[in-house]
Structure 1
């Protein structure tokens, strides 16, 4: 019930206007993002880099309304990559298709993402995030189109979708760079597994399938986007047994969540990358983070009374 409530709130226009004005909400969101500006994000990337932790940066925003707005997004991500390089940081970039024009047309999104992929060459992977299921097919087509021109492109797959295994099989011969997550949108049961146990089982199966492909000499990369110890522990062991190093496998965790676990992974030599988000369009993203981890609601509650 709590998860459904937060997912509903993430799409409510009235709440998206009103709640960000509340001081306790703005204070609580700082747990998950260092600030709204790129300088905040790069400052934390610099600090984490000093601890031996590379980062992944995303600017919050989705479903822009005009082609002109998409060009602003391209310009901002160009700035991310240029400043990160100037600072000598190991930073990769993650983008949302609807932030780069998927609603304005497949050609618009493809041109924008291809431009960023070209700029990212030599700077790591440009990751395409996955949004709600209404965009899944279009996002897969976008990935294939850009991947035909640029090999340094990665794609997010969501294990709560029933189609995820079929999608992975359709991509695997491309030698895909995949970030595997459980999924954070509200989806009907005919499209997504409603039971957590089924989502977890599919997550493990998808990860092992791609690891087996890599261990057999196949091209590609796997980033495990999770904070769940039941996923991290067994799959880290599976990766080690398969001989996968940091060039083919890593754990990807969100900034501010599970910091002790992040330090433990670094101490154990497990490849780790931390995702840092920034920007002022954080409300829907923040509600989805609370839906993923209802325990964080208590952090918000404590913030109300400070």
Structure 2
């Protein structure tokens, strides 16, 4: 019930306008993002890099309406890659298709992705996030079109969707770069598994399927986007048995979540990358992060009374 309420809040325009003005909300969100500017994000990327942890950065925002807005997004991500390179940082970028115009014009979104993929050449993977289920087909089409020209494009897949196993099979011969997550959008039970056990089973099966493909000589890369030890431990062992090193496999965790687990992974030499989010449009993303881990709600509650 709490998860459903938080996901509803993530789409509510009134709350997205009012709650970010509350001081306790702004204080609590600092647990999950270092600030609203690229410079603040890269300061943390630099700090983590000195600890041997590479990073991903993403500017929060989605569902933009105009070509001018998409051009501003492209310019910001290009600036992020250039500034990270100047600072000598191992930083990749992760983009949302609707932040690049997928709603208004898929061709505009594709041109924007192509431009960013070109800018990312030699700088790591350009990751394409997966959004709600309405965007699955256009996002898959976007990825396939970009992937024909740029091998450094990666795609996020969500294990809670019933269709994802088929989607992975349709992509696997491309040798895809896949970030596997559980999923954080409100979806009906006919589209997404409502039971956590089924989501977890799907996650493990999808991870093993791609690892098997890579171990058999197929191309690809797997980023495990999870903080769940029940996913991390067996799949890390499976990667080891498949002979996959940090060039083919890594754990990807969110900034501010699971810091103890992040330190443990680093000590054990497990490939780890941390995703740092920034930007002013953080409210929907923040609500989804709370819905993923209801324990975080108690952190917010404590912040209210400090």
TM-score of Structure 1 vs Structure 2, range by shorter chain: over 0.9
Partner of 2:157: 157
- Aligned-residue offset at 1:200: 0.3
The CA deviation string for residues 65-110 of structure 1, in whole angstroms up to 9 with x for no partner, is 1011000000000000000000000000000000001012111010
Q: Equivalents in 2 of 1:19, 1:181: separation in Å? A: 27
Partner of 1:223: 223
CA-based RMSD: 0.4
Partner of 1:61: 61
Partner of 1:44: 44
> Which runs of structure 1 show a deviation greater than 4 angstroms over 4 or more consecutive aligned residues?
none
Q: Equivalents in 2 of 1:241, 1:264: separation in Å? A: 20
Q: Equivalents in 2 of 1:27, 1:154: separation in Å? A: 33
SS of 1:193's partner is coil
Q: Equivalents in 2 of 1:294, 1:223: separation in Å? A: 24
Q: Equivalents in 2 of 1:139, 1:183: separation in Å? A: 15
Partner of 2:300: 300
Asked if 1:3 is matched to 2:3, the reply is yes
SS of 2:168's partner is helix
Q: Equivalents in 2 of 1:268, 1:88: separation in Å? A: 25
Q: Equivalents in 1 of 2:223, 2:71: separation in Å? A: 28
SS of 1:104's partner is coil
TM-score by length of 2: 1.00
- Aligned-residue offset at 1:166: 0.1
SS of 1:183's partner is coil
The CA deviation string for residues 89-138 of structure 1, in whole angstroms up to 9 with x for no partner, is 00000000000010121110100000000000000000000000000000
Partner of 1:272: 272
Partner of 2:147: 147
- Where in structure 1 are there 5+ consecutive unaligned residues? none
Give the paired residue count: 306
- Aligned-residue offset at 1:164: 0.2
